Structure 1
Amino acid sequence: MYIFLSMLAITDLGLLLSSMPTTLGIYWFHSREISHDACFAQLFFIQSLMLTESSVLLCMAFDRFVAICNPLRYASILTPQRIAKMGLVCLLRGVTLIFPLPILLKQHRYCKDSILSQSYCRHADVMTMACSDISINIIYGFFLTISTRVLDLLLILLSYVMILKTVLSITSHVERLKALNTCVSHVCVVLLFHITDIALAVIYRFGKNSPPIYLTVLGILYMLVPPLMNPIVYSVKTQAIRVRIIRVFVK
C-alpha cells in the first residue's frame, strides 16, 4: 500500500509541476501568451500524468481487493517486484496513449482567437481553436475516454462489488467494519479524482452557454483539489501515517 501511495504522491507532484509554469505566469507575472510547442508539451505531460494517476488508482483498488478477498496470499501476489512492474505499466500506459494527442494537434491550423478557458493547456480546449477538421481528434479523444477513464472506473467498481460481497460474508461485525475502514481512504481519493473529471467533461460538453468563470474555476479545482486532498485523506485515515506525522510535530 505504501509503495502505491508513493506512486500516487509522485504523480500528483508531477501534475502540480506541469501546470505551475502557466498558472504562475498568469496570476503572478501577468504573462498572457504561450507558444504552440510549449502548450502541446504541457498538454502531453498533464494528460499523461492524469492517465497515469487513473491507472495507479486502479492498481490500488486491486491492492485492496487482494488484501480483503485473498489475504493469505497477499504477500505472494503483490511482491515489490510485481508492484514495480505495475507502476511501470501505469506510466507507459499514460505516455503511449497520450503521445499521439500533441502530434495530431500540431497538424492543424489555428486561425481563430487562441484564448484558452483554463490556465493550462488541455486537449478538449486546444482542439476547439483549430480551423481545420478535428474529427480525428474527437474520435481519438472519445476512444481514450472509454478505454481509460471509463474502463478504469468500471473495474474499480467491480473490485469494490467483490470486496463488499466478501465483507458481508464476515460474521464478526467488528471485523467487517475493520475491513471496510481500510478502503475508505481509497474510495475518497477515487471520488475526488473522477467527480472533478466528470464535472469538467460535462461542462465542456453541455455548458457552452454557461459563464466562462465556471469552466475556469472548475478547471483549477480539477488540477489542484486531488493533489492537495490526497495526502490529507490518507494522513487522516491511515493510522501509521498519522502517528508518524504526530511524532514529527511532537519532537
Structure 2
Amino acid sequence: MTGHRPYISADTTLPELTVRALVLGVILGALMTAANTYLGLYIGMTVSASIPAAVMSMLVLRLLRFKDVNILENNVVQTMTSAGESLAAGIIFTMPALLVMGREMDTLTTFIVACLGGVLGTIFTITLRRVFIVEEALLYPEGIACEEVLVAGEKGGSSLIVILYALGLGAIYGWFVKGFKLTESKIEGAFEVLGSRIYASLDFSLSLIAVGYIVGLRIASYIFFGAFLGVFILTPIYGMIHGWPADEDIA
C-alpha cells in the first residue's frame, strides 16, 4: 500500500496472540454473535461488531488492571469478535430459508455449516486482502474508524466509559418494558389496504434506535421504504391477485 505508514512498525516486537486476548475474544465473540443473531432474526439485518468490540476490549482489560496491554492485543480481540458476528449473519440469513422449505436442521448440521463457512471466509479473506487492501489501497470507512478507536484507546481518554452508560440504559429499559411490563413495548393494529386486512406494529426498541444510528439515515431510509413497499403495496396486490391461503394467519 503506497504511502501507508502502520501505527506499529514491522521492526517493533509486541505480544499479540496472548492468552488474555484469546479468552476475551472468545467471550466477546460469543456475546456479540448472540446479540447479532437476535437482531438479524428480529429486524432482518445485523451491525458490525468491530468498533464495539474494540472499545469493550480496551475497557475490560483496563478494568482488570492489566498495565502492559497494547494495541495489537485489542486488535486481536476485535478481529475475533467481528469474525463471530459475521459468521452469525451468514447462518441466520441462509439456514432459516431451509426451514421455510420444510427441511429440518439440527444443531450439529448448523455447527458444521458454520465451521465450513468460517473456513471458506478465511480463505477468501486472505486472497482478497492482497487485492483490495495492499494493491488497490481501498479505503474502508469502518476499518478506518476502528483504527481510530484503537489508537485513541492506546493513547488514553475517557470516551470508553460511554459504552457502559449505553449498556446500563439498555438493560434498565429492557427490565422496565419487557421484564416488569411497566409499559407497552409496541403499538400494533390491523387495518384494510386495497381491500386486504393488514397487520402492522411500531416497536419502541432501543436496539432498533441503536441500529438506525449506526447505519445512518440513508441506509435506514432504504430499509423503511423497502418495508413500506412490501407491506402496504406488494403484499395487498399479491393478495388481490392470488388470494390468501385458507385458514392461515397472514399477519
Q: Which has the larger radius of gyration?
A: 2
Asked if Structure 1 and Structure 2 have the same fold, meaning a TM-score greater than 0.5 normalized by the shorter chain, the answer is no
Q: Which one has the bigger strand percentage?
A: 2
TM-score (norm 1): 0.31
TM-score (norm 2): 0.31
Q: Which one has the bigger helix percentage?
A: 1
